[in-house]
Structure 1
Amino acid sequence: MTNLIRTNFQAHPFHLVSPSPWPILTSASLLTITMSGVLTMHVFTFAQEFLCQAFFLVISSMSFWFRDVTGEATYLGNHTSAVQRGLNMGIGLFIVSEALFFLAIFWAYFHSGLAPAVEAGTQWPPSGIDSVNPFELPLLNTVILLSSGFVVTYAHHSLIKGYRRGALHALVFTVILALIFTALQALEYTVSSFTFSDSTYGSCFYFGTGFHGLHVMIGTAFIAVGLWRYLAYHFTEHHHLGLESSILYWHFVDIVWLILFISMYYWGS
């Protein structure tokens, strides 16, 4: 009886994660995406087919992984207050690493823009490049993304106060605004007069805005999962770490876009 009690109960509030196949499968799928993506750029045979399969594997493995984490948090009660503090710290450090990633992009952009090379015509944007007008689609996208930030904050406060209908409507509206932003960003790329290979300006512009667009899509999925979990009554006023993390990530996306708009669209034009 004593051994049984020691087996079923632990003397600490931390969650000892069970062995899982999803992290290694996700890592292998991401490596496959990288390799097949490079092969696709060099027009290798069947490279596109491998790339599509790799995307499917990433989505599948991460979906199963998130399913397990959701079960641990919602049904098994493994996410104690101590575990939540650790997860909050992990999300914070992840966002810091993302901020340093974008810092490298801005560093490269300003390094080239503040002292343009002779090959760029000693001017920024380089001669021959017609930059995007910041007061057209970029300004509209700025309004849309900032509005989504305000709306998702309203959803968070509504959840804390127990106003379920307001939180649900705000989360749905946030996802819709995020999808509109992504569609307008894709439209902007189709009408731009320069490409990724047009000097350092084109490389930095598309690298920065493209990766921000990728983060918007990830954040949209993040909030959409939170919306689905809220519909399934997984969250309470005091325990909604998954949704809170997605909202924090979305605010980071907003801040990065503001810097992108000011530096690459306005100053860079």
Structure 2
Amino acid sequence: MTHAMERYFVPEPSKYPIFGSIALLLFASGAVMWLNRVGPGQWVFFLGIAVLVYMLFGWFGQVIRESESGKYGAKVDRSFRWSMGWFIFSEVMFFSAFFGALFYARVLTVPSLASGANEALIWPGFTPAWPTDGPYLVDPFTPMGAWGIPALNTLILLTSGGTLTWAHYGLLKGNRTQLKLGLLLTILLGATFLGFQIYEYIHAYGELNLRLDTGIYGSTFFMLTGFHGLHVTIGAIMLTVTLGRVLAGHFRPDHHFAFEATAWYWHFVDVVWLMLFVVVYWL
């Protein structure tokens, strides 16, 4: 066992990377064709999704089988941790770009338009205040308030972080019942968050006249909250897979990095939402 823990496992050549490349090609080209109403764009898009799902099930299934068979040692575990850390860092940079766009528009661009040198660029009735919708909208819109569904969703996500931590403590103590219940509660809270966000979008479009094309406010609002909702969806899928593995008897107190990786991702999503709530909804 000591020897197995010291060596580095080298997997056999895999077919799944090429399937991932094909999936991304079909996904991207199908999306472009679909948006431009060219040929069978939507079918190419969904074919890419299907190939991607096949790749994910096959590749992750292979990794899970190798892990459960005891082929991974301390060095492989360390490489997994570094890989997940860099992945989350890339997600930090992803959201930083959108937060940066919001900062640039709100703090720099809108006030600068009120200066005398930019009078020719603005429209009648312009005020250098946030939010601004631009000169081309006929119907005014209502900004999304913070105290309502956004505040409730903040409480839901914070609670989900607590239930996930509670599940982690159950795993470390060998309490499988606590582990299962904590994971199930976290998944349900994530699904509730997404349900409220869908309702919020329907309310924004139907009653507030707040849309993706509602000037810079609408575009930054939906890009930030929409991509965050996508990440919550991905996190909920990861949690569901983790719960399935727990029910199958996987994970031990001393061997459960897949659980930890999912927890890292979920806590990252929580932190991003807190920033969104303050910057997008509250201020």
The verdict on a shared fold, with TM-score over 0.5 as the criterion, is yes
Tell me the SS of whatever aligns to 1:105.
Answer: helix
Tell me the SS of whatever aligns to 1:133.
Answer: coil
Shift of 1:45: 2.8
> What is the distance in 2 between the residues matched to 1:177 and 1:124?
32
Shift of 1:123: 2.0
Most deviating of 169-178 and 127-136:
127-136
Match of 2:104 among 86, 111, 114: 111
Most deviating of 99-108 and 52-61:
52-61
Partner of 1:123: 129
Superposed CA offset, 1:71-127 (max 9, x none) = 11012x222111101101110111111101111110100110113144674221115
Does the CA-based 8 Å contact 2:4-2:71 persist in structure 1? no
Query: Is 1:57 equivalent to 2:69 in the alignment?
Result: no
Superposed CA offset, 1:172-206 (max 9, x none) = 11111111111111111111122112222211111
Query: Is 1:102 equivalent to 2:95 in the alignment?
Result: yes
Match of 1:202 among 218, 223, 232: 218
Unaligned runs of 5+ in 1: 1-8
Does the CA-based 8 Å contact 2:33-2:40 persist in structure 1? no
Shift of 1:11: 10
Shift of 1:129: 3.2
Tell me the SS of whatever aligns to 1:113.
Answer: helix
Match of 2:60 among 58, 63, 66: 66
> What is the distance in 1 between the residues matched to 2:154 and 2:4?
50
Does the CA-based 8 Å contact 2:16-2:55 persist in structure 1? yes
Match of 2:41 among 16, 33, 47: 47
Shift of 1:12: 5.5
> What is the distance in 1 between the residues matched to 2:198 and 2:32?
22
Partner of 1:3: none
Does the CA-based 8 Å contact 2:190-2:232 persist in structure 1? yes
Aligned sequence identity (%):
34
Q: Which runs of 4+ in 1 moved over 3 A?
A: 9-12, 117-121
The letter of the residue matching 1:79 is Y
> What is the distance in 2 between the residues matched to 1:213 and 1:168?
24
CA RMSD, Structure 1 to Structure 2 (Å): 1.7
Partner of 2:252: 236
Most deviating of 39-48 and 77-86:
39-48
Distance 1:11 1:228, change over 3 A: closer
> What is the distance in 2 between the residues matched to 1:79 and 1:161?
23
- TM-score normalised by L of structure 1: 0.91
Shift of 1:56: 1.5
> What is the distance in 1 between the residues matched to 2:246 and 2:27?
32
> What is the distance in 2 between the residues matched to 1:64 and 1:181?
30
Does the CA-based 8 Å contact 2:29-2:44 persist in structure 1? no
Superposed CA offset, 1:29-65 (max 9, x none) = 1232122112212222321122222111111111111
> What is the distance in 1 between the residues matched to 2:182 and 2:18?
36
> What is the distance in 1 between the residues matched to 2:36 and 2:210?
21
Match of 1:151 among 153, 163, 178: 163
The letter of the residue matching 2:192 is I
Tell me the SS of whatever aligns to 1:19.
Answer: coil
Matches within 5 A, 1:163-202: 163-192=175-204, 193-202=209-218
Matches within 5 A, 1:17-96: 17-75=11-69, 77-96=70-89
- TM-score normalised by L of structure 2: 0.87
Shift of 1:234: 1.4
Q: Provide the aligned length of Structure 1 versus Structure 2.
A: 258
Partner of 1:220: 236
Does the CA-based 8 Å contact 2:4-2:73 persist in structure 1? no
